[in-house]
Amino acid sequence: MRRKLALIKMGGSVVTFKDRPLSANNAAISGIARVISSLKEIPIILVHGGGSFGHYWSVRYGMHTKPARYDAHGISIVHQSMIALNQIIIGSMIKNGVNPYTVCAMSLINHNIPLKVKIDQMYAMARTGIVPVTFGDVIHISDGKYSILSGDVIMTFISKILNPSKVIFAVNTEGIYRNMEEKQTIHEVTGSKVIDAGLFGNAREQTPTDITGGMRRKVEEALKISSKGVEVMIVNGLKPERVTQAVQFGPENFEGTVIRARSRRSGRMR
């Protein structure tokens, strides 16, 4: 059964300026914080990305999503930068009347497997006035090996366990684009496990500063989530009212791309 819950990912391209190392987009953060504050009717769990904080240092220290024995100093620096970004986001939320509570990815995952008991706790908190916030991070996998865990993957973990009624990725585009020349938004993707994320214009782009796969990763995770029966909306987080629309009215009345919940073996775009 779908739970009354909005699971929202604030992309790194929304909460930071991706082309400027270690710079938070304070206006965008407080825009979304105001939206969260206004949404009183539904429990909310937030995830945020790394943008020009975590990705910047991960590139500098040669760290990836592949588990390996990375430089210990690099691990601390990447993690610290994500905490610094999280603090900016949390500060803005509190200022805007939200009651956030940070849960580090490390405490939600063991050996790359999400801990249901912890994710269930996030939901219990969300139901009682707290907004749990987690974020992509460097995590210990096993035996001294670490990897970068994307907030997009955390979205899939949480969705599979909690089955939220609304799953929203806030990005810095109008949604998924058919191609990059015209930037025409695809309004609806009839989700399928076998659609190749690389079919989509902005999912084909390579961003050297994004070590978790950028828009392509987002679309891949969104397709995984939709294949489990949960609709996914991709909206422009730089226009915070789009997030409000998506939460309040859902896929029938919002601006962006919806990936329909389906598990058929073929896909369609509109």
- Interface residues with ligand IP8 (CB under 6 A) are 12, 49-50, 54-55, 58, 78, 82, 136-138, 148, 150-152, 211-212
Q: Which residue is nearest to ligand IP8 (CB)?
A: 136
215: nearest Cα among 192, 189, 193, 197: 197
Shortest gap between Cβ of 56 and ligand IP8 (angstroms)?
8
Which of 137, 220 has the CB closer to ligand IP8?
137
Shortest gap between Cβ of 257 and ligand IP8 (angstroms)?
18
Which of 192, 212 has the CB closer to ligand IP8?
212
Shortest gap between Cβ of 66 and ligand IP8 (angstroms)?
13
Shortest gap between Cβ of 152 and ligand IP8 (angstroms)?
5
Which of 51, 256 has the CB closer to ligand IP8?
51
Which of 150, 227 has the CB closer to ligand IP8?
150
Label the pairing between strands 257-260 and 145-149: unpaired
Tell me the sheet residues that pair with 79: none
Which of 44, 211 has the CB closer to ligand IP8?
211
Which of 58, 156 has the CB closer to ligand IP8?
58
DSSP class per residue in the chain: --EEEEEEEE-HHHHB-TTSTT-B-HHHHHHHHHHHHH--SS-EEEEE--HHHHHHHHHHTT--SS-B---HHHHHHHHHHHHHHHHHHHHHHHHTT--EEE--GGGTEETTEE-HHHHHHHHHHHTTT-EEEEE-EEEEEETTEEEEEPHHHHHHHHHHHH-EEEEEEEESSSSEES-TTT-PEE-EEE--TT--GGGSGGGS---TT-TT-HHHHHHHHHHHHHHTT--EEEEETTSHHHHHHHHHHGGGS-SSEEEE----S--EE-
Question: What distance lies between CA 153 and its chain's CA centroid?
Answer: 8
Instruction: Tell me how far apart the alpha carbons of residues 98 and 81 are, in angstroms, rounded to a whole number.
Output: 23
Shortest gap between Cβ of 153 and ligand IP8 (angstroms)?
8
Shortest gap between Cβ of 194 and ligand IP8 (angstroms)?
24
Which of 36, 78 has the CB closer to ligand IP8?
78
